[in-house]
Amino acid sequence: MTTISKKIGLLAMLSIFGATGCSDFLDESDPSNFTVENYFTKPEHARSSVNAIYANLRVPMGSGFGGGTWMMTEFATGLAATDLGQAVNSYFVKDLRNTSDNGYGQSYWQFYYKGIANANLSIAKIPGISMDAAEAKRLMGEAYFLRAFYYFNLVQMFGNIPLILDPVDLQSEQLKPSAATPEEVYNRVVEDLKAAEAAGLPMTDVSGKVSTGAVKSLLAKVYLTMAGYPLQKGAAYYDLAAKKAEEVIDSKQFKLFASYDDLHNPAKKNVEENIFMIQFKTQILPSNWQVSIIPYNKNISAYSDETGGIYSTGDFVKSYEAGDLRAKEKQFFFTKFTNESDRTKEVDLGGYFIYKHFDNVAQTSSANSDLNWSVIRYADVLLMYAEASNEVGGPSAKAYEAVNAIRTRAQLPALTGLTKDTFREAVWAERWHELCFENITWFDMARLRKAYNVTTKKFENYVGHKFSYGPTLTERELLFPIPTAEVRNNTNLDQNKGY
């Protein structure tokens, strides 16, 4: 396994000395060199080790003329288009011709397992540091949450994956680990999230670190997923999901933004609707997906690269209800913008580009974005509650209140008088239309084994669903292929069916 069989050391450094003829000097250890063995000695080491776990969240967001890893699950929905011809990984997924050589899958596998390796180190080493016990527990809570997040995403994307819970070195038996079952991975994710929930973290955290609100929200999503495919745990887990989402709602610590503009307003980082985000900072760690969500060489942007990397199919945008604010210009999508050299001139973009991730300041002046990427929004929690509670007891007043809060903001009439079955599909439709292009929709498709037909506006079986532009989903697309290098270098791993 290439990403795990490499020497894993969070802050270890290798010093190489030239020949000096002084064997005593060569035999001496340099006390200024950090290794795993001598690093974890101070409280600040605990904090820095946990900070390192967050770093791998950012890697998939990188975008350019080669596309972007984050696009993988978007093209898998059949709702995304691209004009970026050289981004072959995008086309392999979009056209359902994916292979285990796809660089997007390799990037997710490699960097999420690096995040897990860093989490394992923190979890193993922090208890040995002499420091304030409450602070140590909170740091461990962050580490448990992040390990759970990485594993939750990996098991959904790849299925049977290695479950590594301890630090790995070159002598470890875990260099070529066998795969765990999905249920084993999900159970560990739940255990980690329960540990994080009990860690004494604040309900909200404006700095962007893990909060109890984020933990409860992710736990609700994990339970919701376990209720569906592939585990099919059913009503008991829908009940767990509903109750955990309800705890977030009842905390009164979160609320929907009044305007969709706030979804891409850097001043709204980590507050109100944004429960957990991937952190970026202009001039230091600027977010770099801006070049991918603008049209190919239309000269509208302060960025020199305009890649046309990803945008919505017209069929999906047209599937919104009549009057839905989200489908109107410069809400979730945009079809026109001003010319970069003359802002009095308007340019027709030729497609429905993604405005909900658009940094206006960066695009029109600085070319250096300060936007975060939202991982968990309060809108998602409301819709999870509505879906899960309906599965348990049908559409309650509180379930209507949750989904109708989303519809009210979209300037749509409130739902009322629905059966359990019609309410279910109405909530699913809100998830598709509210959470599109946020790395959520494909995961919903896989757990429900359902896909949205943008023409009939009905849900149909995942296997056999035909994308509006031609290709048809088969059973193999329920998972992504395990990267070639991982299977080649670890004979204990089996490739997923159909790849």
Q: Which residues contact 329 (CB under 8 A, 6 or more apart)?
A: 335, 336
**Range(s) within the chain of domains with CATH label 1.25.40.900:** 384-470
Question: Which tokens in the block code for residue 499?
Answer: 């790849």
* Lowest-confidence segment of 16-20, 43-47, 354-358, 440-444 by average pLDDT: 16-20
Q: Residue 281 — pLDDT band, cuts 50, 70, 90?
A: very high
C-beta separation of 315 from 379 below 8 A: no
Length of the chain: 499
Reported as a single tens digit per residue, the pLDDT across 29-65 is 445 556 777 789 999 999 999 999 999 999 999 999 9
Find the angle CA(94)-CA(308)-CA(77) to the nearest 5 degrees.
Answer: 25
Q: Where in the chain is the domain with CATH 1.25.40.390?
A: 37-201
Q: Given this model, what pLDDT does residue 173 score?
A: 76
For residue 34, what pLDDT is reported?
63
Alpha-carbon distance 86 to 107, whole Å?
18
384-470 CATH pick, 3.40.640.10, 1.10.10.10, 1.25.40.900, 3.40.50.300: 1.25.40.900
- Amino acid residing at 119: A
**Cis ω for the linkage preceding 286 (within 30 of 0):** no
At 486 the pLDDT is 96
Alpha-carbon dihedral 240, 241, 242, 245, rounded to 10 degrees:
120
Q: What does the pLDDT read at residue 25? A: 35
pLDDT in tens, 219-235: 999 999 999 999 999 99
Give Dmax over CA atoms of the chain in angstroms.
Answer: 87
Per-residue pLDDT for 356 more than 60?
Answer: yes
Q: pLDDT at position 175, please?
A: 82
Residue 291 tokens read as: 């070049």
- Is the pLDDT at 8 greater than 80? The verdict is no
Indicate the pLDDT class of residue 337, thresholds 50, 70 and 90: very high
Question: What is the pLDDT, as a whole number, of residue 232?
Answer: 98
Task: Over range 415-424, report the average pLDDT.
Answer: 98
pLDDT above 90 as % of the chain: 90
CB 141 within 8 A of CB 69: no
* Mean pLDDT, all residues of the chain: 93
Pair 142, 196: CB distance under 8 Å? yes
pLDDT band at 169 (very low <50, low <70, confident <90, very high): confident
Q: Which among 340, 248, 310 is positioned nearest to 73, based on CA atoms?
A: 310
Residue 27 reports pLDDT greater than 80 = no
pLDDT at 7: 37
pLDDT at residue number 23: 42
> What are the pLDDT digits (tens) for 238-247?
999 999 999 9
Q: Which residue has the tokens 């967050």?
A: 54
Q: Which two tokens stand for residue 403?
A: 């989904």
Q: Which CATH number fits domain 37-201: 2.40.70.10, 1.20.1440.230, 3.40.50.80, 1.25.40.390?
A: 1.25.40.390
Write the pLDDT tens digit of every residue in 99-120.
Answer: 999 999 999 999 999 999 999 9
**CA atoms 356, 357, 358, 362: torsion sign:** positive
Q: Give the pLDDT of residue 35.
A: 73
